[in-house]
C-alpha cells in the first residue's frame, strides 16, 4: 500500500510509447510563459481562474488490469486530474463528464478550434496503455488552446494499483506549469479519525492521500491516538498514544506494523515532530509538571537533548526547512506565544506580539511563513513571517486549530471543532484565505499532518 517502491518514472522518450501516427508531435519550443503570477507572490489571481478541459484519457488497446479496464482507468485518471485542479481553487475544470471522447491521434494533435469554441483556455489530453509487464503507461499533455500549442508533456509508468498517483503527478505538472508554484497533489496526510459522543470520543490514527482517497485506519481506537506526523519518507508515523494508559510518543513503522517508544521515560511525552531530513525527532516532555522541548535521534539510539529550560510550558515546535531553526510555543511570558530558536536551543526569541495567544506554529516548507493558531476568543488560523511581521488571519470560525502546510507552502490544512457537539472536520484554505473547503473523510477528523510530495 505504501509507496516503498516507486515505479513512477518520467518517461523521457515519450514518443516511443505512441504509435507512429502521432510521433510527429510538435517540438515544445518557444512556449510562452504561462504563469501569470510572480512565483514569489503569495496571492493567486483567484479573480481570473483559468478554465481547463480534461477529456477522458484514451486507451488505445483496451485491456484489463487488477485496477480495472484501461478504458475505465482513462476516465478515472481524467476525473482525478480534473478534481485536483478544481480543488486547488486556481482553476475551473470541465470534464471528463460532459466532454466528448477523443481519439488517439488527437492526443498529440488537438482540435484547437473545437476547444476554443467551448470555450476553454487550457486542454489536458492523454492516454493509458497496458504494457507487457502489466504496468500502466500514462501519457499526459497540456495544451494552451489560445496559442494552439503544447505546453508540457509527461509520461508515467506505474503499477495499476497506483494509477491515482499518475493522475496526481499529471495534475501537479499542470498546476506547476500554470501557476509557477511547486507541486503538492501527489502527497499524503496522516490524521486522527474521530467517532463517538463528545464525552467519549474514539480517536484512531489514519492515513489518506491528499485528496482523501486510499484511506486507511492504522489503529483500532481502543486507546486514544493524537497528533500524528508522517516521516518525510512516509515509512513511519510519529504519534501520541495512551496505549499503556499514559500519553507517550511512539514511532509506528507502516510496513512492519510495529511501533516503539521514542524514548524510555516515566514522564509523559507529547507533541512529536520530525526534522526535515527525518534524522531527528523533536518532542515535548513534562517533568514534575514543567514541560520542555527535547530532541533525539530518530534511529532509536542516542540521548535526548533538552532544548528549552524556562519555567512554564515550552511545547510543540517545527523545524525550518533548512533544519537550522525551530519555531515553538511557550507561555514563559504568561501566555502562549511563538518563539524561534536555533536548532541547538540557543538564541530563543519571541516573535508573536499581536492580540491574544498564539499556538501550534508550523514552519512553511518554503521557509517564508509560519502558520499558527491564534486564540483571542475564537481560534483562527493565520500566518506570519519568521520575524513575526506580516500577520494575517486566514480563517474565521469558532475553533480552527493546528495548521499543517501543503508541501508547496501555498495551501494549509487545519481542523475545525464545532461548538457544542465537539464534532471535528479537516479543512483546507489557500494563503489568500480563499478556497476554504472541507476534506472528505469517512468519519470526523482532526490533527491533519501533510507529508511531502512523493518522489
> Applying CB under 8 A, which part among 55-63, 64-72, 274-282, 414-422 lies near another protein?
414-422
Cell of 288: 514534575
Smallest gap from Cβ 187 to another protein, in A, equals 23
Among 69, 331, 350, 368, binds another protein (CB under 8 A): 331
According to the binding rule CB under 8 A, does residue 65 interact with another protein?
no
By the rule CB under 8 A, 226 interacts with another protein:
yes
Query: Residue 252 or residue 358: which is nearer to another protein going by CB?
Result: 358
Strand order in the sheet with 248-253: 225-230, 236-241, 248-253, 258-261
In sign, the C-alpha dihedral spanning 131, 73, 189, 175 is positive
Q: Is the dihedral of CA 308, 313, 319, 320 positive or negative?
A: negative
Note whether 199 binds another protein by CB under 8 A.
yes
User: Quick one: which of 294, 300, 246 has its CA closest to 268?
Assistant: 246
Classify residue 399 by its DSSP letter.
B
Smallest distance from the beta carbon of 375 to another protein, in angstroms? 7
SS3 category, 234: coil
167 binds another protein (CB under 8 A): no
Residue 10 is given by DSSP the state B
Question: In the complex with another protein, which residue's Cβ is closer, 268 or 433?
Answer: 268
Shorter beta-carbon distance to another protein: residue 88 or 417: 417
Terminal CA-to-CA distance of the chain, rounded, Å?
A: 15
> Using only C-alpha atoms, what is the Rg of the chain?
23
**How far is Cα of residue 415 from the mean position of the Cα atoms in its chain?**
14
Q: Please answer whether residues 383 and 371 qualify as being in contact, where contact means their C-beta atoms are separated by less than 8 angstroms.
A: yes
- In this complex, which beta carbon is closest to another protein, that of residue 65 or of residue 360? 360
Query: Of residues 277-306, which lie at the interface with another protein (CB under 8 A)?
Result: 284, 286, 288-291
The reply to whether 197 sits near another protein by the rule CB under 8 A is yes
CB closer to another protein, 34 vs 375: 375
**Site residues (vs another protein, CB under 8 A):** 197-201, 203, 224, 226-227, 240, 245-247, 268, 270-271, 284, 286, 288-291, 313, 315-316, 329, 331, 335-336, 359-360, 373, 375, 379, 398-399, 401-402, 417, 419-420, 422, 447
Amino acid at each position: 500500500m505504501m509507496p516503498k517502491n516507486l515505479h513512477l518514472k518520467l518517461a523521457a522518450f515519450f514518443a516511443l510509447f505512441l504509435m507512429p501516427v502521432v510521433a510527429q508531435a510538435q517540438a515544445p519550443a518557444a512556449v510562452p510563459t504561462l504563469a501569470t503570477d510572480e512565483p514569489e507572490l503569495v496571492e493567486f489571481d483567484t479573480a481570473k481562474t483559468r478554465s481547463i478541459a480534461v477529456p477522458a484519457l484514451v486507451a488505445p488497446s483496451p485491456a484489463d488490469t487488477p485496477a480495472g479496464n484501461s478504458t475505465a482507468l482513462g476516465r478515472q485518471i481524467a476525473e482525478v486530474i480534473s478534481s485536483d485542479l478544481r480543488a486547488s481553487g486556481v482553476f475551473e475544470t470541465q470534464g471528463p463528464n460532459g466532454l466528448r471522447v477523443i481519439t488517439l491521434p488527437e492526443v498529440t494533435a488537438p482540435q484547437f478550434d473545437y476547444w476554443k469554441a467551448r470555450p476553454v483556455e487550457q486542454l489536458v489530453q492523454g492516454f493509458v496503455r497496458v504494457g507487457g509487464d502489466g504496468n500502466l503507461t500514462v501519457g499526459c499533455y497540456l495544451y494552451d488552446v489560445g496559442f494552439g500549442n503544447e505546453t508540457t508533456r509527461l509520461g508515467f509508468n506505474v503499477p495499476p494499483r497506483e494509477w491515482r498517483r499518475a493522475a496526481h503527478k499529471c495534475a501537479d505538472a499542470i498546476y506547476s506549469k500554470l501557476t509557477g508554484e511547486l507541486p503538492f497533489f501527489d502527497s499524503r496526510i496522516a490524521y486522527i479519525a474521530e467517532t463517538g459522543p463528545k464525552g467519549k470520543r474514539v480517536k484512531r490514527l489514519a492515513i489518506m492521500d491528499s485528496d482523501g482517497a486510499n484511506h486507511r485506519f492504522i489503529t483500532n481506537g481502543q486507546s486514544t491516538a493524537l497528533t500524528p506526523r508522517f516521516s518525510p519518507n512516509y515509512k513511519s508515523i510519529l504519534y501520541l498514544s495512551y496505549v499503556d494508559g499514559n500519553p507517550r510518543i511512539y514511532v509506528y513503522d507502516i510496513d512492519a506494523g510495529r511501533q516503539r517508544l521514542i524514548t524510555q521515560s516515566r514522564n509523559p511525552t507529547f507533541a512529536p515532530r520530525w526534522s526535515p531530513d527525518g534524522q531527528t525527532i523533536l518532542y515535548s516532555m513534562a517533568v514534575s509538571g514543567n514541560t520542555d522541548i527535547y530532541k533525539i535521534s530518530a534511529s532509536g539510539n542516542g540521548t535526548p537533548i533538552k532544548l528549552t529550560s524556562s519555567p512554564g510550558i515550552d511545547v510543540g515546535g517545527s523545524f525550518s526547512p533548512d533544519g537550522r531553526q525551530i519555531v515553538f510555543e511557550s507561555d514563559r511570558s504568561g501566555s502562549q506565544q511563538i518563539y524561534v530558536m536555533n536548532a541547538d536551543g540557543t538564541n530563543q526569541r519571541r516573535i508573536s506580539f499581536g492580540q491574544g495567544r498564539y499556538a501550534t506554529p508550523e514552519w512553511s516548507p518554503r521557509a517564508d511563513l509560519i502558520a499558527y493558531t491564534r486564540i483571542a476568543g475564537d481560534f483562527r488560523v493565520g500566518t506570519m513571517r519568521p520575524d513575526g511581521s506580516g500577520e494575517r488571519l486566514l480563517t474565521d470560525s469558532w475553533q480552527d486549530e493546528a495548521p499543517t502546510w501543503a508541501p508547496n507552502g501555498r495551501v494549509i490544512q487545519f481542523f475545525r471543532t464545532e461548538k457544542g457537539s465537539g464534532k471535528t472536520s479537516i479543512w483546507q484554505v489557500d494563503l489568500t484565505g480563499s478556497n476554504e473547503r472541507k476534506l472528505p473523510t469517512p468519519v470526523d477528523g482532526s490533527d491533519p499532518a501533510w507529508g511531502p510530495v512523493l518522489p
